[in-house]
């Protein structure tokens, strides 16, 4: 199975992919939000783990609505006859903060993180999903 993780942002969409066994998430790329859907569907994923940004009380706000709209748009572009990918919503509170801290620890300042932080956050989201599958 092909698993990808997605972190939907205002301008960029972070992408992560799993290894062949579906055990490890690897940051892949950050895509322009306007063209990301076509590129994601071209990857032909079986499952997409999508970050759902909730507030500290677990409520959905504008960013969560944007993520849900992105997925609705993605699913509407699946071609007739194709099996749509399974969507798994993952609570992504703090995923970008964790990614930023990891990158900072690796020596990347905020300016240098810009191109990779979204993909790193997507890998956190995907790894959370992959880890949850171990117990199913």
Could you tell me the residue ranges of all domains in the chain? 3-133
Beta bridge partners of 52: 91
Output the pLDDT for position 99: 64
The helix or strand, by DSSP H or E, that contains position 36, with its residue range, turns out to be helix 36-42
- With contact defined as beta carbons under 8 Å apart, do 16 and 122 qualify? yes
Answer positive or negative: Cα dihedral of 87, 69, 26, 90.
negative
Please list the pLDDT of the chain residue by residue as tens digits (136 residues): 799 999 998 899 999 999 999 999 999 999 999 899 999 999 999 999 999 998 888 899 999 999 999 999 999 999 888 899 999 999 987 666 666 666 667 666 656 556 677 888 899 999 999 999 876 6
- With contact defined as beta carbons under 8 Å apart, do 40 and 48 qualify? yes
**DSSP strands (E only) in 69-136:** 86-91
pTM of the model: 0.86
Superfamily the domain 3-133 falls into: YqgF/RNase H-like domain (3.30.420.140)
Output the pLDDT for position 128: 94
Output the pLDDT for position 72: 97
């Amino acid at each position: 199975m092909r698993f990808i993780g997605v972190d939907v942002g205002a301008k960029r969409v972070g992408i992560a992919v799993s290894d062949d066994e579906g055990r490890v998430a690897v940051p892949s790329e950050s895509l322009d939000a306007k063209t990301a859907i076509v590129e994601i569907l071209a990857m032909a994923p079986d499952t997409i783990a999508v970050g759902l940004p909730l507030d500290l009380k677990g409520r959905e706000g504008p960013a969560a609505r944007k993520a849900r709209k992105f997925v609705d748009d993605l699913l509407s572009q699946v071609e007739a006859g194709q099996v749509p990918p399974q969507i798994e919503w993952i609570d992504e509170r703090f995923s970008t903060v964790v990614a930023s801290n990891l990158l900072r620890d690796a020596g990347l300042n905020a300016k240098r993180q810009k191109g990779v932080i979204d993909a790193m956050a997507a890998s956190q989201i995907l790894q959370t999903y992959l880890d949850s599958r171990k117990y199913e």
